Amino acid sequence: MRILFGIQGTGNGHISRSRELVSRLREDGHEVEVVISGRKQDELKEVEMLEPLRVLKGMTLVTYKGKMNYIDTMFQLDLGRLMADVLTLDMSGIDLVVTDFEPVTSMAARLKGLPLVGFGHQYAFRYRIPVARGNIFERYTLLNFAPARYNAGLHWHHFDQPIFPPVIPRSLYEVADRQEVPGKILVYLPFEEPEDVEPFLEPFSDRQFYIYGKIDEEGDRGHLHFKGYSREGFLRDLQESQGVLCNAGFELPGEALHLGKKLLVRPLDGQIEQESNALGLEELGYGRSMHSLDSRVLSEWLEEEKVEPHAYSRTVDYIAEWIGAGDLDDIGRYVDAAWNDCGA
């Protein structure tokens, strides 16, 4: 089968989970072409294995100091360029389009009447799951940014809905026995400013914080270790950590739950997906949340006990099998099989 695979490039999580599914589809013999939008090509990291790929402008969301900036988001939107990319995207010979919340491939597939699969956490919101109140604009954007005919939604729990478990990088199955380092905490707060993160963590000198995301300069400053982007290094620090402090995205909390790391999340203000994720974590009892960099909450969380691993299944195996079978309406048995293998 010839598949066009669209990836939203604004977050590393989209690229991470799509990398896993693209690899599996290619292993199964499918010809997969990749489109990434929402980030400049020179800002994309470790995407070589996705080639051949094309990078388009698409649409992206602008943030500042842990909050959505809707005014700047609207100013950077180039509707003319967006529609030109949609209309000129070569779809000849394509049998199926998969979109990980990527709008150009979503619109082009619907325009051409091609089968369209939505893959990712955002597509779980089409089912009955915990959702923050938000506003009408936020809800509309979440459901209509890159809609699809068939939805392979992902979540940390199934909520009795046809939702798959999270996608976990293959390397976390292959070397999942790495020993934890006492007091080591992984920090990933890319929506916060460095000048806010450092003084927030500095008083807790009895812990070792390994900090990724938006940093001014790599290096060690006492118990604060500032790290440049490296997927391999990041996963190694994740496995060695006792807990994860991060924004309330989806992929990293899923990886932490898979390995049994305690979680403290800080949702991006005004972003309904992250606020819903924080709500879901607390309702499930899977982690804690804070809506500002709150030292009191951090202090309490650092003293909490470790949690048991969820040991999620190889979700991409079941999604690839579902896609390859050709009957996209028959999703339930693949979802059930994926959840039945969790904890194995």
Percent of the chain with pLDDT over 90: 69
Q: What homologous superfamily does CATH list for 2-167+313-340?
A: Glycogen Phosphorylase B; (3.40.50.2000)
pLDDT in tens, 220-246: 999 999 998 888 899 999 999 999 999
- Asked whether the predicted pLDDT for residue 71 surpasses 80, the reply is no
Run of H or E including 77: none
| Domain over 171-302 is classified CATH 3.40.50.2000 | yes
d(CA 9, CA 61): 11
* Residue 142 and residue 136 in contact, taking contact as beta carbons nearer than 8 Å: no
Please tell me the least confidently modeled range out of 13-17, 92-96, 174-178, 316-320. 174-178
Give pLDDT, residue 175: 57
Give pLDDT, residue 285: 96
Give pLDDT, residue 184: 98
Q: Where in the chain is the domain with CATH 3.40.50.2000?
A: 2-167+313-340, 171-302
d(CA 16, CA 18): 6
Q: Which residues contact 127 (CB under 8 A, 6 or more apart)?
A: 153, 159, 161, 162, 163
CA distances from 235 to 173, 201, 240 (A): 11, 21, 9
Range with the largest mean pLDDT of 58-72, 139-153, 195-209:
195-209
Q: Which two tokens stand for residue 217?
A: 């300069």
pLDDT in tens, 242-288: 999 999 999 999 999 999 999 999 998 878 999 999 999 999 999 99
pLDDT in tens, 103-115: 999 999 999 999 9
| CB < 8 Å & 24+ apart, contacts of 326-331 | 328/115, 328/117, 328/149, 328/150, 329/150, 331/150, 331/152, 331/162
Give pLDDT, residue 301: 98
d(CA 289, CA 301): 10
d(CA 87, CA 187): 41
Cα dihedral across residues 309, 239, 247, 126: positive or negative: negative
Proportion of the chain in helix, strand, coil states, percent, rounded to 5:
40, 20, 40
Q: Which residues contact 66 (CB under 8 A, 6 or more apart)?
A: 191, 192, 193, 196, 247, 266, 268, 269, 292
Higher pLDDT among residues 138 and 292, named by residue: 292
Q: Tokens 């992206």, residue? A: 60
DSSP string, 240-290: H-SEEEEES-SHHHHHHHHHT-EEEEEPPBT-HHHHHHHHHHHHHTS-EE-
